[in-house]
Structure 1
Amino acid sequence: MAGILIDKVAKQFGNAVALQEISFTVEDGEFVALLGPSGCGKTTLLRIIAGLEVQSSGKVMIGERDVSSLKPAQRGLAMVFQNYAVFPHMTVFENVAFGLRMKGADQARVEAKVRKAAELLHIEQYLERFPAKLSGGQRQRVAVARALAVEPAVLLMDEPLSNLDALLRLEMRAELRSVLREAGTTTIYVTHDQTEAMGLADRIAVMQGGHIVQIGAPTEVYSRPATRFVGGFVGSPPMNFVNTVAASGQARLGGLTLASPVDGPIVLGFRGEDAKLTDAAGGAPFTVRVAEPMGSHLLLTGRIGDDLARVVAPPAAQIAAGETLGLALDPARIVWIDPETGRTHPGA
């Protein structure tokens, strides 16, 4: 296997800047997710690593090799796309064997590697079938098995689960995490789905406007977002943001007083599950507009002053629209954000 170094990689399409000098590393055997909305540059970056696009500047290292000018076939990597791209006229065995045969592997090696990949993905019983006889989830397993069979130094995945229904995505996400951990393959995974990124990755690189705005462990990105954008993009429901004004090192929201890192206008960020319901006089006043039973919890949507907020309450809580409650917040679980720059205050 091999690690990856992305060194000041930039990309322009005419006058449009797609990537702005991106630099980061992926350790040998690590799983890194590139997470962001459509148009943020994540697929462009993946295609540059694969050799399907040429960077305007910067370099890509895989292991000890600078692969920036090498063709895709020379980079020692494999890709799995959103489109399964399995060959309908070939059996599952021949689909999985395709990359090996292209590399000139002998039949004994093909047999061994196909069987191993099929067992990892639990498709060994389907090797003699044609793709038309498989479900969507099974076809996706074939695509992943084909990529792993060639034992690539690096596996690149571009939204590979987005065509599956919700239950299949959940099943494949758990399976994929287990398989790649066992195979020890260095993986970069592109997704716009923060749930996939949180569940799969060792680290998440959140992208916005051609930049990586934060890279870190899923729990770090979730709990300590570097910017308001990250807090609002990662999490379901997203982080809540309340505008307030601090004075003498304190911010007051009704009966709730919190130590602020600066005086003046500031934004308080908190997760819905970190708010505890209390009496209206003793906390931040929260007026409920909608109460949605979600099974495991009750999702409350309402307002704190002029700002919309979503709060997670116990499933059996008896709360109706129009009620005004108080919210208690743990100072250790909140973030303070500069309203002008959108960045989290250091040490907050």
Structure 2
Amino acid sequence: MATIGIDGIRKSFGAVQALQAVELLVRDGEFLALLGPSGCGKTTLLRIIAGLETQTAGRVRIGERDVTDLPPRRRGLAMVFQNYAVFPHLTVFENVAFGLRMGKAPKDRVQRQVERAAALLHIEPYLGRYPAQLSGGQRQRVAVARALAVEPEVLLMDEPLSNLDALLRLEMRAELKAVLAEAGTTTIYVTHDQTEAMGLADRIAVMQAGRIEQIGSPAEIYHRPGSRFVGAFVGSPPMNFLRLPVRNGAAALGDLSLPCPPGTAAEVLLGLRAEDLSPAPPGEGFAFTLRVAEPLGSHVLLTGSAANQPMRAVVPYEAEGVGEGFAPGRVLHLRPHPGRLNWMDAESGRALEASR
């Protein structure tokens, strides 16, 4: 296996800066997700690592080797794309064996590696079939098996599950996590789907406008976002942000006085996850005016406003003080979990360091 080092990678397309001095270190055997909206530069970065795109500046390292100027075939990596990219005229066995045969591997190694990869992906019964005889999920398993069969130092995956339906995507996500954990291959996974990134990755690098906004574990990214962008992009519903006045070192929210980090300006952004709010008696929380209630089985998603700003809250269906009275215009009282407050600069949107 190998580490991956990205040192000051820049990429320009004419006047457009697609990547701006990206620095990143992926650890040996780590599964790292590049997460961000369309156009943020995540696929461009992946293609530069693969050698399919040439950077404007910067270096790429795999293990101890500087691979910046090496062609893809000499970088010791494999790639799985969004489309299945399987050969329709070859059987599943020959598809999985393709990379090994191109590398002129001995027949016994080809047989051994194909069987091992097929067992990992549970496609042994289909080795004699052609891709047209497989479902979409089975074809994607073939593509992953082909990549793993060559035992690459690095596996690069570009939104490999996006063409599958929701139920199959859920199944494949669980399978993929188990397979890659067993294989121990250093993996970079590009996605715009936060659920995939949160469920699969050891760490997530959230990208925006050609830069990495934040790198951290899924829990860190979710509970302690480094900026308003990260908090709004990761999570469903997105994190709530309330712009609040600060007096004597505390932010005023209804009947609550919430201590702010030292040196906070006269106005601050308070970030709150919807599930970190709970019903409270009047006088012990802040007023929330309900606009829409969406029962979702075990809980209810409430959409409304607080401090004249939009807000969402998730509460248990039988929460005390809520009941089944979800008439629009109803005023509830909520209070935040004290350990889940995220303070951010009102101007830059960056997390205040003292709150992290």
**Which residue of the partner structure matches residue 91 of structure 1?**
91
1:200-250 residue CA offsets vs partner (Å, 9 max, x unmatched): 000000001100010011100111100000000011111000111010011
TM-score (norm 1): 0.98
Deviation at 1:308, TM superposition (A): 1.1
1:256-283 residue CA offsets vs partner (Å, 9 max, x unmatched): 2211122411111010111011134321
Please tell me whether the aligned partners of residues 294 and 300 of structure 2 are also in contact (alpha carbons under 8 angstroms): yes
Percent identity at matched positions?
Answer: 65
Please tell me whether the aligned partners of residues 270 and 335 of structure 1 are also in contact (alpha carbons under 8 angstroms): yes
Please tell me whether the aligned partners of residues 254 and 307 of structure 2 are also in contact (alpha carbons under 8 angstroms): no
**Which residue of the partner structure matches residue 130 of structure 2?**
130
The equivalences for 1:283-294 within 5 A come to 283-294=285-296
Deviation at 1:305, TM superposition (A): 2.2
Q: Please state if 1:75 is matched with 2:75.
A: yes
Aligned residue for 1:347, secondary structure, equals helix
Paired with 1:258 and 1:278, the residues of 2 have a C-alpha distance of 16
**Which residue of the partner structure matches residue 109 of structure 2?**
109
One-letter amino acid of the structure 1 residue matched with residue 208 of structure 2: Q
- Structure-2 change in CA distance of 1:319 and 1:49 (3 Å): farther
**Which residue of the partner structure matches residue 322 of structure 1?**
329
**Which residue of the partner structure matches residue 297 of structure 2?**
295
Paired with 1:308 and 1:97, the residues of 2 have a C-alpha distance of 55
Please tell me whether the aligned partners of residues 232 and 239 of structure 1 are also in contact (alpha carbons under 8 angstroms): yes
Please tell me whether the aligned partners of residues 243 and 268 of structure 1 are also in contact (alpha carbons under 8 angstroms): yes
One-letter amino acid of the structure 2 residue matched with residue 77 of structure 1: L
Paired with 1:139 and 1:309, the residues of 2 have a C-alpha distance of 42
**Which residue of the partner structure matches residue 338 of structure 2?**
331
TM-score (norm 2): 0.96
Aligned residue for 2:283, secondary structure, equals helix
One-letter amino acid of the structure 2 residue matched with residue 93 of structure 1: F
Paired with 2:308 and 2:63, the residues of 1 have a C-alpha distance of 52
One-letter amino acid of the structure 2 residue matched with residue 125 of structure 1: P
Paired with 2:317 and 2:154, the residues of 1 have a C-alpha distance of 44
Aligned residues: 348
Structure 1 runs of 4+ aligned residues shifted over 4 Å read: none
The equivalences for 1:154-169 within 5 A come to 154-169=154-169
1:26-55 residue CA offsets vs partner (Å, 9 max, x unmatched): 111000000000000000000000000011
Q: Please state if 1:309 is matched with 2:311.
A: yes
Paired with 1:306 and 1:218, the residues of 2 have a C-alpha distance of 31
Please tell me whether the aligned partners of residues 4 and 27 of structure 2 are also in contact (alpha carbons under 8 angstroms): yes
Paired with 1:295 and 1:93, the residues of 2 have a C-alpha distance of 45
Please tell me whether the aligned partners of residues 293 and 315 of structure 1 are also in contact (alpha carbons under 8 angstroms): yes
Q: Please state if 1:15 is matched with 2:21.
A: no
C-alpha RMSD over aligned residues: 0.9
**Which residue of the partner structure matches residue 341 of structure 1?**
348
The equivalences for 1:1-348 within 5 A come to 1-261=1-261, 262-316=264-318, 317-320=323-326, 321-348=328-355
Deviation at 1:339, TM superposition (A): 1.4
Please tell me whether the aligned partners of residues 280 and 324 of structure 1 are also in contact (alpha carbons under 8 angstroms): no
- Of 279-288 and 334-343, the range deviating more from structure 2: 279-288
- Of 135-144 and 294-303, the range deviating more from structure 2: 294-303
Please tell me whether the aligned partners of residues 291 and 319 of structure 1 are also in contact (alpha carbons under 8 angstroms): no
Structure 1: 5+ residue stretches without partners: none
- Of 282-291 and 189-198, the range deviating more from structure 2: 282-291
Aligned residue for 2:39, secondary structure, equals coil
Paired with 2:257 and 2:294, the residues of 1 have a C-alpha distance of 29
Paired with 2:325 and 2:39, the residues of 1 have a C-alpha distance of 40
- Of 278-287 and 325-334, the range deviating more from structure 2: 278-287
